[in-house]
A and B are shown apart, each in its own frame.
Chain A
Amino acid sequence: MAGPRLRLGIDVGGTNTDAVLMDGDQVVAWHKVATGEGITASIVAAASAVIAAGGATAEQVFAVMLGTTQFTNAVVERRRLTKVAALRLAAPATTAVPPMSDWPDDLAAVVGRHHYLLRGGLEFDGREIAALDEDEIAAAAKDIAGKKIDAVAITSVFSPLDAAMEHRAEAILRRELPHGTCAITLSHRIGRIGLLERENAAILNAALSDLAARVVEAFIKAIGELGIEAPLYISQNDGTLMTAAHAARYPVLTFASGPTNSMRGAAVLSGLSDALVVDIGGTTSDIGLLLDGFPREAAMTVEVGGVRTNFRMPDLLAVGLGGGSLVRDDGSRIGPESVGFELERRALVFGGDSLTMTDIAVAAGQMDLGDEAGLAGAIDLPHVEVALATANAMIAQALDRVRPSAATLPVILVGGGAPLLGGRTIGGGEILRPEHGQVANAIGASIAMVGGECDRIFSLDGVSRDDAMAAAKAEAAGQAQAAGADAASIRIVEIDEIPLSYLPGNATRLRVKAVGDLAEGSA
C-alpha cells in the first residue's frame, strides 16, 4: 500500500502567504492569501485551499515544508527582539574588539550592550588560550539574572574546532540562573570560523529567541488545525531543511531562505539546473545564478540589518524594478522609487495617480489587473514601448553582471512581477516563464533537501590530504543523514579548501557540504 506522498510547501512572507501542494515535482494546486495579522490563520487559509483544490486530504501529506521571512524582517525592522547577554570565552585574547563593536546603534540599543568577556577559548591547534573560570561565569550569571535578561549568546574562540567550552559555560549558566527558561545560543551551532561574524549571528539568534518560539508555535498550531500529522520542516539559508524544533532554537538559519527558495523553485519548475533566475517582486528584481540546481553563494560577507555575518547566502543582485516601480520621463526612467505595498491604491489601473510598471504591463497587454480605464489619457502607446525597452535593458544589464561567462544561459522569470518583462529572449538568453512561477518560493520550500556540513581545520601532519578529505566528507554525509536524509541519495555538493598559510605542518581548513532527499517517513 502506498503511503502518503504529497508535500505541502508554504511561504510565509511579510505581505503574502503562499501554499502549494506538490506530488513529486508536479504542482497539484496553489493558493495565495494576504498574511495579515495572524500567521496561523493565513497558513490555515492558504493550506486548506490547496488541499481542497487538489482533491486531497490532510492524511495524504507526508511532509510540510515552510519558508519564512519573519525573522529577517524582525532584524531589519528592529522589532520584536529581546535583550541579549553576550558571553565571549576568549580573554585575555580578543579584548581589542569587544562584542557588538560594529553594530548599528539602533539595533544595539534594542538588543542592549550587555557583554561579558571571560577567560577561555582555544588556540588553532586545540590548546586552551586560558582555562574556563567557573566562578567568573557564575558571577556573570548573577549579573544577567539581576538585569532580567532571558537570552544569552555564548561564543568561544575556535569553537567550530571544539565546542566543549561553550557547552560547559551553558551548563554553568543553566545551574546558576534562577529560572530554567533562559534561551541560550551556542555560536558553534550556527556559524563557522570568523569570531565576530559567528558571535554576531549568535547574538541575533538569541535576540530572536522569544519571537522564534512564538512564530514556530503559530506554525505548529496551524498544521494541527489543518489536521496534518506529518512532520513540519522549515527551510534554511542554503536551501536545505531543518525541523520545526530546530528552527525555534536557531531562527537565524532562515535569514536567506526566501531568495534561496525562489531560486530552487525556479530550478524545479523549469527543469533546468544551470540558468539565470530573475525573481520580480513589487519593488525590486533579484537576479541570481543557478549552478547545479543550487544558487551560487556570495563570496563577500553578508550583512543582515547592518550586522556582518558569515552565513551562506545566495549571491543576488537587486535591481530597482518591480510591479510598483514608478515610471517617469516618458518611460525612459524606472524606479528605484516604488509605491510598494500601496500598489492597489496608487497605481493608475487601481484608480490611483502614480504611473507604475504594473500600469505599463497592463497597457501592453502583458498583465490583466485592475481597470484599464484608469490608463486612458494618462499614457501614450509610444511611451509604453519605451518603458518596456527600459525595463528590458535594466534586467539585461544586470544579467550580464551575474552571468559567469560569455556563454548564454537561459533566463527563468519567476515572482508575481514576471509578466512585466515581455519578449522571448533577453540579453541573448532564452526566456522561460514556468507555470506557477508566481509561487516559486513555496515550491522551492517544498522540494528542499536536507543537508549536513563539516567545517574544520585538519592538520596534515601524518595524515594524507586524501584521508582528511575523506574524513570531512564522511562527517558531512553523517550530519545529513542525522538530519533526515535518505542515505542512498546523499551527495557532496560543495568542497572548499582554505590552506592555512604561514603554519607549518600543512594545516588546512576543509568545508564540505552534503545534501540528500528527505527520507519519507522521517520525523
Chain B
Amino acid sequence: MIKIGLEDLDDIALGATFLGTGGGGDPYIATLMTRRAIAEHGPVTMLDLNEVADDALVFACGNMGAPTVAIEKIMAAEQPPSAVLALEKHLGRPADLLMAFEAGGSNSMMPIYNAAMLGKPMVDADGMGRAFPEMQMVTFSVYGASGSPFALASEHGETVILNIEDDKRAEYIGRGIVIRMGARAAKASYPMDGNTAKRVAIPGTTSLCQAIGANLRQSRAQNREPFAALIQMLSGTHYGHAEVLFTGKVTDLSRETRDGWAIGWVMIADQDGETLEIEFQNEFLAARQGHRLRAIVPDLICILDTEMAQPITTERLRYGQRVTVMAVSAPPIMRTDEALAVFGPAGFGMDEEFVPVEDLS
C-alpha cells in the first residue's frame, strides 16, 4: 500500500504518455484535475492487487470520447464521481476500490481523481497495460469479467446505466450515447469482486507509470542518455524485455480519418539510409524495417524525442523530428491466445501472426 500525492502526478503522467504508445490522449488536463482534487482532499491510498480482499467491490473508471473534444470541453468537477455514484446506486452497494481500465494516456489519472474526490482507495492495476482504442480491448473482457452494468455521466449530472452482455456491443452502443453527451463522458464499468480482479487485471500498472516517469525525469535531470536506464528498469518488471528499435528522423508521415479512427503511418530514416515504418490506428500497431517486422501489437511501440526522451503522440508527430523508437514486450497476461484474439494483430484487422518482440531482434 502506498500513497499518491501531488509530487507523484507529473511522473505518472509522463509514464502514462509512454504507455499510451502514441494514443490514449494527453494526460495534461487530467493531471491538472487530479492535482486540484488531491490538493483539496489529500493523497490517495493505492493497494497492490494482491492486497485486495476477495469480496471487495472494484470498479474500473475512466473517460470515453474524442481526445480532440477533450482539449476543449473539459469535464465538470463532479462528472467522474457521478458515474461511480450512479453505478453504486444501481448495484445497491458502494465500491470499495477504484481501478483504471487504461493505464496509458489520460485515463491513467481518472481512478486517482475519483479516489481523491470520493475518499476511496484505488488498486494498482488496469485492463490494458497500455492504451487501446476500444472499451472491450481489456484483459477484463478477455478473461470473462463483464463490462456491464456500466454508467456514463455527462457534465450536466445526467447518468445512464447500460446492461449489455457483449462488451463489443457495449462499446458500440455506449459510444452513441457519448456522442449525444457531447463526445466527452465519464465512465464507471466492469464491477467485479477482488477475487476476479486478481485473475483478470494487469497488476502494477499505475506504479509502473510512476516508475517510468521518474526514470525519464531523473535521466533528464542528470543529463544522461535516458534509454539504457529505462530499458534496465523495465527489465525488472513483468513487461520484461525492452529495446531501442531504431533512432532517426521523421521523413514522411500520413494521417487520415477512416471510420472514426486516426489511421496512418510514419517513416523514420537514420543516417545510413535505413528506414523504419510504423503503422498506427490511434496507437502504434506495427513497426517494420524494410520487409522485416520489428514489433507488433499488443507489444508496445513508443516513439520518443531523442533529445528529451519525451514520448510523442501520433497527433504531435512532425516531419523532421529526431526520434528514438522503443519496443517493450507486453506482460504474459496480454499475450495468451485469448488475449491476442481481442487486441493482437487480428483485433486490428491485420492478417499476420503475433511474434514477440524479443524473438524479432
Contact = CB atoms under 8 A, between A and B. Distances in A.
Given A404-B249, A509-B68, A95 B77 contact: yes
B155 A124 contact: no
Considering residues A90, A497, A501, which has the most beta carbons from chain B within 10 angstroms of its beta carbon? A501
Interface residues of B, number: 50
Nearest to A406: B271
Interface string A296-317: 1001100000000000000000
Nearest to B184: A93
Contacts of B269: 405-406
B73 A93 contact: yes
Interface string A165-198: 0000000000000000000000000000111100
A124 B66 CA distance: 10
Interface stretch (B43-51, B189-197, B199-207, B253-261): B253-261
Contacts of B310: 300
B358 to A, nearest CB: 30
Interface stretch (A36-44, A58-66, A96-104): A96-104
A91 B78 CA distance: 12
Contacts of B157: 92
B36 A97 contact: yes
Interface in B262-284: 262, 269, 271, 273, 282
B320 interface: yes
Interface string A487-523: 0000000000111111110111100000000000000
Nearest to B134: A502
Nearest to B319: A404
Given A92-B156, A94-B76, A401-B307, A502 B322 contact: no
B149 interface: no
B72 A193 contact: yes
A500 B72 CA distance: 13
Contacts of A503: 66, 69, 179, 183, 260
Interface in B28-77: 29, 32-33, 35-36, 65-69, 71-77
Nearest to B69: A124
Nearest to A130: B156
B182 interface: yes
Contacts of A405: 249, 251, 269, 320
Nearest to B251: A405
A189 B262 CA distance: 29
A121 interface: yes
B249 A501 contact: no
A97 B175 CA distance: 25
A158 interface: yes
A69 B149 CA distance: 57
B71 A94 contact: no
A91 B72 CA distance: 13
A138 interface: no
B93 interface: no
Interface residues of A, number: 44
Interface in B94-110: none
A292 interface: no
Interface string B308-322: 001000011111111
Interface in B153-195: 155-157, 175, 179, 182-184
A101 B32 contact: yes
A300 B317 CA distance: 10
A157 B155 CA distance: 13
A94 B74 contact: yes
Considering residues B175, B260, B273, which has the most beta carbons from chain A within 10 angstroms of its beta carbon? B260
A196 B72 CA distance: 8
A129 B271 contact: no
A501 B68 contact: yes
A97 B74 CA distance: 7
A289 B318 CA distance: 14
Contact of A93 (B68, B71, B76): B76
Contact of B76 (A96, A158, A401, A501): A96
Contacts of A509: 68
A280 to B, nearest CB: 21
Contacts of B317: 299
Contact of A499 (B75, B179, B262): B262
Nearest to B23: A501
Interface of B: 29, 32-33, 35-36, 65-69, 71-79, 133, 155-157, 175, 179, 182-184, 249, 251, 255-257, 260-262, 269, 271, 273, 282, 307, 310, 315-322
23 contacts: A91-B76, A94-B76, A94-B155, A95-B76, A95-B78, A96-B75, A123-B182, A193-B68, A196-B74, A289-B320, A296-B320, A405-B320, A406-B269, A497-B255, A497-B256, A498-B315, A501-B257, A502-B175, A503-B66, A503-B69, A503-B179, A506-B257, A507-B257
The 7 nearest A-B residue pairs measured at CB: A499-B257, A404-B320, A94-B74, A123-B182, A93-B155, A502-B66, A299-B318
